[in-house]
Structure 1
């Protein structure tokens, strides 16, 4: 991940509702969720949710797929892991320190 992509992703997550949406998507895992389920879960109007989902997709943190008449939104776990790896790449300047483990300490692609 480069600096520009990291800034876009962090900016998307810097808004409270988008952070909530992303966390719910991550909790749902690869199965994803429909906007209706997200709206009900977060108690947010569909139009507001749509705006936030668009921003998460633009930032590469979520993906949208059409299944028949429904849209499914999924977290882009690879992009999330890349962001976390970018943020922790220089952790402790490469010196092992208790509690300082560069990300990913475990592989979360199958979460």
Structure 2
């Protein structure tokens, strides 16, 4: 377990999740997905998994199709066996559920 975040950092992370991942606008939620893509690529993986993973996984089941499509497009490269999230069970399971829904016409 990592040490607790400094208070300003913790507030920033909470603000990002509240404003973007849980935002009313589907565009905000899509922006969060793209931010997560950069975080996955550029930061230590534990930073992403501890702070941003849960909110990203929830967006795989977003009611707006464009958000789900953005999620699939952005997250797919990271879920592949050689990707940084290929062994991350919550992300892999969300990707499988999404693929099954597409196969069922959802």
Structure 1 length-normalised TM = 0.29
- Structure with bigger gyration radius: 1
TM-score, scaled relative to structure 2: 0.30
